[in-house]
Structure 1
Amino acid sequence: MTTTLLLIRHGETDANVQRRYIGRTNVPLNQNGHAQAAKLRTALADHTITTIYHSPYQRTHATALHLGDNLHADLRLAELDFGDWEHLTYDEIPDRDHLDKWYDDPWRLAPPNGETLHQLDHRLTLWLYDIIRLHPNQTIAAVSHGGPLRWLLAKYLHRDTAQFHTLRLPPGGHAILKLTEGDLR
């Protein structure tokens, strides 16, 4: 049995425009982000979405509201925890050596007091197992963030986690992933 996942990145925020690391900071959509979210309903009209999951942050919730009303917040869909780098731009991060090492090996190295890709992978895999068991042969929307969505696309669509840093899903963008429980092994 296959579950269809509509992977949706929340609409734009001012922090996105400023290119800030925003993981666990609860920022709202900006005007453009609300417009992007409104367009998703039309863009995804051909899909019968049974359930909409979103991270517990207002930017994903506001985006999800445009898709329907069967909403479920799930912390496992949260953005990567950027720890001490939260709300900083690339240029504002003081420890350049640590930043460079993190870009080279985010699987094992985290931002100070943050999260590794291994930890992100663990929570997303647990979420996927739950979703596939709960929603066989259904179409589910997952409104999340750039990091988790790029990870899911790299791992399950492209089958190459090295593509994590090169994949792009713009704010308000979406991708479709079809998975069975066997795909998670």
Structure 2
Amino acid sequence: HSAGKSVLNLFAYTCGVGLSAAAGGASEVINLDFAEGNLAVGRENAALNPELAPMQFIQSDYFPAIRQLAGLPISARRGHKLPDYPRLQQRQFDRVLLDPPAWAKSAFGTVDLLRDYQSLLKPAILATAADGVLICCNNLAKVALGDWRAQVLRCAEKLGRPVRECQVLPPAPDFPSLDGQPPLKTLILQF
């Protein structure tokens, strides 16, 4: 699915998705993560696969990076001075993966999958090309798939970026759910 496509891997961790996209023939892969240690593992994985196209690794807080890519202003939490962050040009990608942690806080904002998924989703949608695909994840058991799916589709509609097709990607068998409500929920949105 990545052949000839530009790929943005957000909350990249050790860049496994980026590496897979490069192996699938992506024209460009950008891995973004806050932790330099995670990106170091990604760089090591890339070095172990020299036949793949080079990938980019950007160490940055999610909020300033994605807001710049989406063409949105960057603001600090009330009463906090903005720390330094890498400067990025506004642009869109053919494939975007949004797989955030359940909760994290920084000077730029709070990742909160229960109360404010929209603050993560809105700029990711804007950074996805018109005919692109956004794969978004939510790993909180408290969040019901149907409710989250409706929230995601409503957010896209409000942005004027209605989703042409929304596919639910169920977790693999090695992530069993005894109650039929798996914590890991993945949506594939085609714009």
TM-score above 0.5: no
Greater fraction helix: 1
Greater fraction strand: 2
Q: TM-score, normalised by structure 2?
A: 0.30
Q: TM-score, normalised by structure 1?
A: 0.30
Which has the bigger relative contact order, CA under 8 A and spacing at least 6? 1
